[in-house]
Chains A and B, each alone.
Chain A
């Protein structure tokens, strides 16, 4: 495994700048997740690292060696795509062994067998090794596809939404597995997704992308608790952060220039009597969370509630802020005095 360093990468397609001056480091043995909506440039960035696209400016090094102009084969990377592409006529065992048998690599057969069995065990598909690829369920196929990347020990694994074609339950299982495997192998992974839950639960560091720019780079907790702007603040957190006009709720510590107050569940206190009165428009019991929908002076506010909250639709509750986030009119974060973290 190796450290991967991107420096000032720029990629244009005609008039559009898909990647705008992106610099970031994927530390050896860490998992970096690039998070952003469609068109944010995350897949282009991944393809630049793979060597499937060449940058218009900037440099890229893998394990300390400059790889900027090198072809994909020279880079020692392993790619997992969104759609599993297995060889249908081969068994699971042969699908997994395939990358190791390539003429470029030529491992001794005994070593191939050992490696394939190790990976199959890790992905819990060892009992399916002799099945045809076509006899597997969707989840098993995707695990084989991931396994085919993992049998090799490249400098870095590149993964482009590998879980997005799976159903919710399987996705949740594989999220946890993939994180475990990454830690057990000490693998370096650059992973692309538009799913904030994947980013939050798996990443060592998240890179939030918007319109080709890297807006913030940090641990999930840093990004969630200490976002640089309102855009980043809305990227993480379910329910989404409430962006309230300043003055809607008393906020004596708002710095000068505050236009928006960002209030997550943990930034709002709900009292039966104290605070500004809001009406409860809906208590929404989702399968995994309970959301309280409130209305305060025509401003909707959504917060997380206990699954067995006694609060009912139609009631009035009191709302008060508790150390929320502040943003200026352009959405930039404003801090009270010295920043909380260096």
Chain B
């Protein structure tokens, strides 16, 4: 398996810049997710790693060896286009062994490798069955087996679960992650779905308009988004973003938003009066009668253990995620209390996250 290093990678198509000078490292054995909306450059980056697209500038290193302009076939990387197409006339064994057969691997070796792969995927009892009679989950496992039987240095996957319905997708997310935990193959996975990214990734790179917005662990990106774009893109419902005018100075611990004075994490940089944004995740807001920011409940969404309460305030709609046992109904007047140390502050003009005590480590792209 392999480490993949991306250095100042750029790609333009004529006038259009698809990827702007990106740098990051995919660690050996990591499950690495490139996340962003369509057109953000994630698929182009993946295709450059695969060798299907040549960069306009920058370097790609596979285990320290430069492969930037090497042909795809020379890179020993498996690109999983479609996880779900099987050869219907072949049994499970022949489906899984097919890539090795194409490479001219000796038959005895194919047999051993196919059986080992099937054990890894826990489908060894199905090896001599036709694929037509298999359950959906087993078909996916066979397709995965066909991808991993070659033991490439890395797997590249481009939205492999995009076409599945939600229940089946959840199942496959766990399947893919637990397979990764068993074989530890370096995996680069492209998706626009933040839930897939959060559920599977060791590391995430968030891209937007060809630019790396943030690079880090799912938890770090969730807790300390480096920009307004990341704050809004990750999380469901997304982070509440309250816009206000104000100035900041180091050591400050309060801001005035409309009529309310709110405690914030200790500020560690200075900013003259301008547009600022306070970011609060729904689970970091509580309903409290004596809180300074007040509003009227617009609607509640029951989710069993929890509920999401949408409150109309002078600063716009705010969503709070609270326990389902708490009685609250549309039309109620409520106060909103924030978990101070979990709040984020952003420069409303550039979108950049502002340094506060404890979150200087937020990585900018």
Q: Closest approach, in angstroms, between the C-beta of B214 and any C-beta of chain A?
A: 14
In the complex the two chains form, is A220's CB within 8 Å of B302's CB?
yes
Q: How far is the CA of A200 from the CA of B194 in the complex (A)?
A: 22
In this assembly, does A131 line the interface, its C-beta being within 8 Å of a C-beta of chain B?
A: no
In this assembly, does B272 line the interface, its C-beta being within 8 Å of a C-beta of chain A?
A: no
In the complex the two chains form, is A168's CB within 8 Å of B236's CB?
yes
Binary contact track B295-324/A, C-beta < 8 Å → 1, others 0: 000110111111010100000000000001
Contacts of B194 in A (CB 8 A): 287
Q: How far is the CA of A266 from the CA of B324 in the complex (A)?
A: 11
In this assembly, does A124 line the interface, its C-beta being within 8 Å of a C-beta of chain B?
A: no
Binary contact track B223-256/A, C-beta < 8 Å → 1, others 0: 0000000000011111000000000000000000
In the complex the two chains form, is B305's CB within 8 Å of A194's CB?
no
- A37-B167, A180-B298, A183-B330 in contact; A287/B305 too (CB < 8 A)? no
Q: Closest approach, in angstroms, between the C-beta of A225 and any C-beta of chain B?
A: 8
Residues from 133 to 185 in A contacting B, C-beta threshold 8 Å: 168-169, 172, 175-176, 179-180, 183
- A168-B236, A287-B234 in contact; A195/B166 too (CB < 8 A)? yes
- A284-B199, A288-B235, A288-B236 in contact; A264/B219 too (CB < 8 A)? no
Contacts of B235 in A (CB 8 A): 287-288
In the complex the two chains form, is A172's CB within 8 Å of B198's CB?
no
In the complex the two chains form, is B303's CB within 8 Å of A200's CB?
yes
In this assembly, does B183 line the interface, its C-beta being within 8 Å of a C-beta of chain A?
A: no
Closest-by-CB residue of A relative to B321 is A288
- A288-B195, A307-B283 in contact; A172/B304 too (CB < 8 A)? no
In the complex the two chains form, is A197's CB within 8 Å of B305's CB?
no
In the complex the two chains form, is B303's CB within 8 Å of A197's CB?
yes
Q: Closest approach, in angstroms, between the C-beta of A160 and any C-beta of chain B?
A: 15
Pick the most buried of A195, A288, A308: most chain B CB atoms within 10 A of its CB: A288
Residue in contact with A286 in the complex, picked from B198, B237, B306, B342, CB distance below 8 Å: B198
- A287-B234, A287-B236, A288-B237 in contact; A200/B199 too (CB < 8 A)? no
Q: Closest approach, in angstroms, between the C-beta of A209 and any C-beta of chain B?
A: 15
Contacts of B219 in A (CB 8 A): 285
Contacts of B197 in A (CB 8 A): 287
Contacts of B281 in A (CB 8 A): 307
In the complex the two chains form, is B198's CB within 8 Å of A285's CB?
yes
In the complex the two chains form, is B222's CB within 8 Å of A237's CB?
no
Contacts of A266 in B (CB 8 A): 305
Residue in contact with B305 in the complex, picked from A175, A285, A304, CB distance below 8 Å: A304
In this assembly, does A201 line the interface, its C-beta being within 8 Å of a C-beta of chain B?
A: yes
Binary contact track B181-210/A, C-beta < 8 Å → 1, others 0: 000000000000111011100000000000
- A288-B237, A307-B283 in contact; A265/B305 too (CB < 8 A)? yes
In the complex the two chains form, is B199's CB within 8 Å of A201's CB?
no
- A37-B167, A307-B283 in contact; A172/B302 too (CB < 8 A)? no
In this assembly, does B218 line the interface, its C-beta being within 8 Å of a C-beta of chain A?
A: yes
Q: How far is the CA of A340 from the CA of B68 in the complex (A)?
A: 67
Binary contact track A296-326/B, C-beta < 8 Å → 1, others 0: 0000000010011000000000000000000
Residues from 10 to 47 in A contacting B, C-beta threshold 8 Å: 37-38
Q: How far is the CA of A195 from the CA of B305 in the complex (A)?
A: 17
- A287-B198, A287-B234, A288-B235 in contact; A176/B299 too (CB < 8 A)? yes
Q: How far is the CA of A332 from the CA of B298 in the complex (A)?
A: 38
In this assembly, does B165 line the interface, its C-beta being within 8 Å of a C-beta of chain A?
A: yes
In this assembly, does A238 line the interface, its C-beta being within 8 Å of a C-beta of chain B?
A: yes
In the complex the two chains form, is A238's CB within 8 Å of B304's CB?
yes
In this assembly, does A224 line the interface, its C-beta being within 8 Å of a C-beta of chain B?
A: yes
In the complex the two chains form, is A176's CB within 8 Å of B195's CB?
no
- A200-B304, A236-B304, A237-B304 in contact; A287/B299 too (CB < 8 A)? no
Q: How far is the CA of A287 from the CA of B219 in the complex (A)?
A: 9
In the complex the two chains form, is B303's CB within 8 Å of A176's CB?
no
Contacts of B301 in A (CB 8 A): 175-176, 179, 200-201
Q: How far is the CA of A183 from the CA of B198 in the complex (A)?
A: 35
In this assembly, does A221 line the interface, its C-beta being within 8 Å of a C-beta of chain B?
A: yes
Chain B residues in contact with chain A, CB under 8 A? 165-167, 193-195, 197-199, 218-219, 222, 234-238, 281, 283, 298-299, 301-306, 308, 310, 324, 330, 342
